[in-house]
Amino acid sequence: MTKWEHTIRQYEGQDFESIRLQCRRERKLFEDPIFPAQLESLSNNYQKLIPNWREIIWKRPYEIVDNPQLIVNGIKRTDPNQGDLGNCWFIAAMSALTQNSTVLKRVIPPDQSFNKDWYAGIFHFRFWRYQQWYDIVIDDRLPYLIKQKRLWGARNLFEINEFWVSLLEKAYAKLNGNYTNLGGGLPVNALTDFTGGIEQRFELKSNLSLTHLHSDDLFDFIKSCIDYGSLIACSINPNKQKLETILSNGLVIGHTYSITNYYILPLTYDNHLRKLSERGLIRFRNPWGNDIEWNGKWSDSDPIWNLLDEKTRKRLSIQRKHDGEFWMSFNDFYKEFDVMEVCHISPDTYDEFGLTIQDSKHHWRMWYVLGSWRAGENSGGSCANSGCRHGCYYWRNPQFVIELTLNRSFNSNRLCMMIIALMQKPIINNSNEQYIQIRLFKIKSNVKICEKKIYKPDEVERIASTGPYVNRREVSLLLKTTTGAYLIVPSMADVDQNCDFLLRIFSQDTTIGRTFVNIFANDNFEDLSRRNLNQQYTISEQTPMNIFFEATHSKEYYKSTDLDEKRIDVIPIRPHRYTYE
């Protein structure tokens, strides 16, 4: 058992191997009492949300095909195909997942099959939630349409006796309460649950500049993400057009695609194309897995492919096949798509596989802290202006101080690259998500860094934020900055709200030195946060960082003088704009 496997928590207390062995001894197939083969597992409101619910029964794979297999000829990016459930965002995330074999081994444990000497009607899969990995046990009874004689949910259209797609979808439905809870969502949420990574969202037409990237740099960024093993999805906003409207170019409005590879055209193709972005091609997959594909330049049937040699075409899997996979130029991608979501892989994913130092340079390092906002204590709201409706309690929000230094092997003038991410965890399951934001301040050089200190507005300089407050599970900020001391302030838009959170920092080539956590609390208040910024599975031979943390007990708050003069915007996530069926 690896070091990582010791940290896995059994979901709902179900021990996979114990249950399987018991079923084998008793010569019976497992029937999951927590997620039973009933309509309620499809939906709490199945009569309204599932029009053909009367046609659905539950069948095990061996009742559907003669020779069921969990995996046939390896896991491939073309395996996942969407069923009747409106969850293209999840299917696209599955396709992206297939591009990282290391992560696949974690999500889909290899110790299971339909072999008669092993099979007991039970399987298990693993997902990440709020810094904890869970092992999800399911039985293999799947929703099946009697009249159409096919599975109701996700499946493999090309190898009908392969069932990893259908079973993984069922496990994720169990984690989320039922199947229809997957009907409409954000692909990056699934990618994060697959990996424990940090999400990053790009609005290509509006806020790309907030990410410190320019359009000319975006292809190089995508290339780097794929090289690093990050998982990527993209979509087109519906705006006034109906969801899943098929455009004349073959792309689908309000539909999620996975990005699975890139290719850089050689200069010999066209020596006038000097920039990488001009020579860049990107490979996509439509989770429908059919003939609804891009039909413009570099599409499957475009004769322009004949300009490349046969060996290159074969390596890029160029074929006229109705499988939902196609290529586009980067420039066409940037023109046609509105949103790109990236999940950067957590370094602990690679730790268990014993990466070498050379390998480790291709991945991120991470630190994290579990914290909370509490009404009347440290939930200070959004506004730092004098005369606001909150009375300017912003500076009562939790404060996290970090000092950034570069690894000794790098030039001192080099900028530090890092991602700061804030993930909320509602106190009550399935409650509405709060509007959240991170602001990053640089502590002025004349200010002393010490413990038990709450920083005032005139001691810091605001340098970045995650943008307007938004009701998403996670928000993140990517930036390149100089070494020095920084103040991170996570906050909610409204004052005096209760919510737990996870704050994470991913960095490249960066060492975090002294770290302080300052949290307001009453003397009698039991702070639920772990006041500690933990370094988790650092993949480099460096001395572990020193961690200092203190809770600051104070009822004082500070009013801003000239900071944040503009009103703090709050942007709601609306299903018609940001979630995809």
pLDDT, mean of residues 134-152: 97
Q: Which pLDDT belongs to residue 363?
A: 54
DSSP reduced 3-state for 511: strand
Higher pLDDT, 289 or 562: 289
In a domain, 349, yes or no: no
Clarify whether residues 134 and 263 are in a common domain.
no
In a domain, 408, yes or no: yes
574 within some domain: no
Same-domain status, 510 and 456: yes
Instruction: Examine residue 358 and state whether it is found in any structural domain, yes or no.
Output: no
Query: Is there a single domain that holds both residue 159 and residue 30?
Result: yes
Residues 374 and 340 in one domain: no
Q: What's the pLDDT score for residue 408?
A: 53
Bridge-based pairing of strands 280-285 and 256-264 is antiparallel
Shared-domain flag, residues 20 and 136: yes
- Tell whether 576 is covered by a domain: no
Whether the predicted pLDDT of 205 surpasses 90: no
Q: How many CB atoms lie within 10 A of CB 363?
A: 22
78-128 pLDDT per residue, tens: 999 999 998 999 999 999 999 888 889 999 999 899 999 999 999 999 999
Which structure tokens are listed for 390?
């909150």
**Domain annotation covers residue 398:** yes
Q: Are residues 169 and 230 in the same domain?
A: no
Is it the case that residue 388 has pLDDT exceeding 60?
Answer: no
Q: Domain tally for the chain?
A: 3
Q: Where are the alpha helices (DSSP H) in 316-376?
A: 330-336, 348-351, 357-360
User: What pLDDT shows up at residue 457?
Assistant: 86
Across the range 380-407, mean pLDDT stands at: 75
Arithmetic mean of pLDDT, 17-41: 97
pLDDT at 40: 96
Q: Quote the percentage of the chain above a pLDDT of 70.
A: 75
Q: Is residue 520 pLDDT above 90, yes or no?
A: no
Residues 6+ apart with CB under 8 A from 479: 212, 417, 418, 420, 440, 463, 464
The CATH number given to whatever domain includes residue 304 is 3.90.70.10
Q: Say which amino acid occupies 467.
A: G
Domain of residue 487, CATH code: 2.60.120.380
Q: Is the pLDDT of residue 132 over 80?
A: yes
Same-domain pairing of 20 and 130: yes
β partners of residue 508: 417
pTM (2 d.p.): 0.81
pLDDT at 573: 44
What is residue 527's predicted lDDT score, i.e. its pLDDT?
38
Tell me, what's the pLDDT at 579? Answer: 40
Q: Any idea which of 340-344, 388-392, 430-434 has the lowest mean pLDDT?
A: 388-392
- When the pLDDT of each residue in the chain is averaged and rounded to a whole number, the result is 80
Local structure of 491: helix, strand or coil: strand
Mean pLDDT of 52-75: 96
Q: Are residues 220 and 182 in the same domain?
A: no
Sheet holding 256-264, edge to edge: 198-203, 339-344, 231-235, 256-264, 280-285, 325-329
pLDDT value, residue 90: 95
Residue 317: is its pLDDT beyond 90? no
* Any domain includes 23: yes
Is 113 within the bounds of a domain?
yes
Element (H, E) at 220: helix 215-228
Same domain? 399 vs 440: yes
User: Does residue 231 sit in the same domain as residue 142?
Assistant: no
Q: What is the structure's pLDDT at 322? A: 83
> Is the per-residue pLDDT at 379 higher than 50?
yes
51-70 mean pLDDT: 97
Same domain, 155 and 36: yes
Q: Examine the domain organization and report whether 337 and 375 are in the same domain.
A: no
pLDDT for residue 537: 30
392 burial level (CB within 10 Å; 0-12, 13-18, 19+) = buried
Q: Is the pLDDT of residue 569 over 80?
A: no
Structural domain including 557 reads: 366-568
From 193, 226, 246, the end of a domain falls on: 193
**For residue 507, what pLDDT is reported?**
77
pLDDT in tens, 250-288: 999 989 999 999 999 886 666 666 666 788 999 999 999
**Paired tokens of 103:** 């992560």
Beta carbons within 10 angstroms of residue 511's beta carbon: 20
Given this model, what pLDDT does residue 213 score? 65
First to last CA, the chain: 39
Using 50, 70 and 90 to split pLDDT, how confident is the model at 27? Answer: very high
- Residue-wise pLDDT for 532-552, tens only, equals 344 333 222 222 222 222 323
Q: Which residues does the annotation mark as catalytic? A: 88, 255, 286
pLDDT score for 431: 62
Burial 261-290 (b: 16+ CB within 10 A, else e): bbbbbeeeeeeeeeebbbbbbbbbbbbbbe
What pLDDT is recorded for position 384? 62
